[in-house]
């Protein structure tokens, strides 16, 4: 049977696999794993990113009242993660499949070597026909090391593995057009779409950290990298099989057809993980955003430097009005570029091969 994709990342939200009390819904989990097993049997490589560790923890731990919110989350995540992965292991084993647990933090994507090691791990597991089950390492992820939620984490993995499709399973049917007052579901969204606020009701999930606006921004970023993104209701029977068979339940973010190197894929998803920033003049901004030529960022185009960074760190590039132009790997330290900014005849601050421009 021919399928739409050969490899996918599937993200399952907390509200899909938990009940009204926030505890694991075993019936839904069993049905989702059965669908993933069916996809696997048909030759589709699947990476599963699953929330629910904190929810699982709620069902096995009675906490005292003297814990801080951070400590409460750590305890629930640390205990619940064991129950969550054991549940997945048992359900997949019923279909003859082996699972692997991978816990990551945001810092794992910040460092290029960690990033490449992680990618090798995923590639090796998939080669051995093992289902990777991924979650944020909530027990140690606090403050700046936390992802916005597992939407951000799964988006980074989809980009890193350059999959064909990325599926976000939520507890709603997709993105709705509230601008018309009818609230009709939007079936397809081009990669060029902007201003998602007008289409959705802002707000966050009851138990999760992220909302639909976060999902839309991540979906749009991936679609611009050539990955088709689906947002659909994970509680709908057979939802994964419908999507992989080319049907269009939920909302589909249509991909741009573009080729981008693995290095630039990494740089493209370092938003929020950059070590510093440079502000560039208008001439440099025009040169970098020109689609007809490939240009590097030279010190002559830099007006100011923000933060402290070293050669090899990822930095943000901003225009004088504060708009983010792109991200790239610094060829100089912050201290060095402060002495070179505005000078002609210098080597690039960011070479084109290490530069990702936001269009």
Q: Over the stretch 327-338, which tens digit does the pLDDT of each residue have?
A: 988 999 999 999
pTM, two decimal places: 0.79
Distance between CA atoms of 1 and 95, rounded to whole angstroms? 20
pLDDT at res. 207: 38
Does residue 87 have a pLDDT over 90?
yes
Task: For residues 163-185, give the mean pLDDT.
Answer: 80
Distance between CA atoms of 76 and 18, rounded to whole angstroms? 14
pLDDT-derived band at 210, boundaries 50, 70, 90:
very low
Question: Would you list which residues are annotated within the binding site?
Answer: 11, 51, 138, 150
CATH numeric code, 7-263:
3.40.1160.10
Q: Over the stretch 239-263, which tens digit does the pLDDT of each residue have?
A: 999 998 888 788 898 887 666 666 7
330: three-class secondary structure by DSSP: coil
Q: Give the domain ranges of the chain.
A: 7-263, 274-357
Hey, which bits of 55-209 come out as E strands?
99-104, 131-136, 165-170, 176-177, 184-185, 188-189
Does residue 49 have a pLDDT over 90?
yes
Domain 274-357 has CATH 2.30.130.10: yes
Distance between CA atoms of 23 and 281, rounded to whole angstroms? 53
Task: For residues 59-69, give the mean pLDDT.
Answer: 82
Question: Would you list which residues are annotated within the binding site for substrate?
Answer: 51, 138, 150
Q: Over the stretch 310-327, which tens digit does the pLDDT of each residue have?
A: 888 889 999 998 888 889
Question: Would you list which residues are annotated within the binding site for ATP?
Answer: 11
Closest CA to 344 of 269, 286, 283: 283
Structure tokens at 190: 């081009």
pLDDT at res. 126: 96
């Amino acid at each position: 049977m021919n399928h739409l994709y050969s490899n996918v990342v599937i993200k399952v939200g907390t509200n899909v696999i938990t009940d009204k009390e926030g505890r694991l819904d075993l019936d839904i989990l069993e049905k989702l794993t059965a669908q993933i097993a069916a996809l696997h049997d048909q030759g589709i490589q699947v990476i599963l990113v699953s929330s629910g560790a904190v929810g699982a923890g709620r069902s096995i731990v009675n906490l005292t009242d003297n814990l801080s919110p951070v400590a409460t989350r750590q305890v629930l995540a640390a205990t619940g993660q064991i129950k969550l992965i054991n549940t997945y292991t048992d359900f997949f084993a019923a279909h003859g499949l082996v699972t692997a647990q991978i816990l990551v933090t945001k810092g794992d994507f910040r460092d290029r070597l960690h990033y490449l090691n992680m990618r090798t791990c995923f590639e090796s597991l998939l080669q051995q026909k093992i289902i990777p089950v991924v979650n944020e390492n909530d027990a140690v992820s606090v403050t700046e090391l936390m992802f916005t939620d597992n939407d951000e984490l799964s988006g980074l993995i989809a980009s890193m593995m350059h999959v064909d499709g990325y599926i976000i399973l939520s507890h709603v049917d997709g993105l709705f057009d509230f601008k018309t007052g009818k609230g009709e579901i939007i079936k397809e969204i081009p990669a060029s779409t902007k201003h998602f606020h007008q289409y959705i009701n802002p707000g966050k999930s009851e138990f999760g950290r992220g909302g639909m606006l976060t999902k839309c921004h991540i979906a749009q970023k991936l679609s611009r990298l050539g990955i088709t993104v689906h947002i659909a209701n994970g509680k709908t029977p057979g939802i994964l099989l419908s999507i992989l068979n080319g049907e269009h339940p939920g909302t589909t973010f249509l991909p741009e057809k573009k080729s981008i190197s693995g290095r630039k894929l990494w740089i493209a998803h370092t938003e929020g993980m950059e070590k510093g920033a440079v502000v560039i003049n208008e001439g440099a901004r025009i040169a970098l955003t020109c689609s007809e030529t490939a240009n590097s960022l030279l010190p002559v185009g830099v007006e100011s430097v923000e933060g402290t960074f070293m050669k090899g760190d990822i930095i943000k590039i901003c225009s004088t009005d504060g708009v983010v132009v792109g991200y790239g790997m610094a060829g100089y330290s912050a201290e060095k570029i402060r002495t070179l900014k505005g000078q002609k005849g210098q080597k690039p601050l960011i070479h084109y091969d290490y530069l990702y421009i936001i269009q």
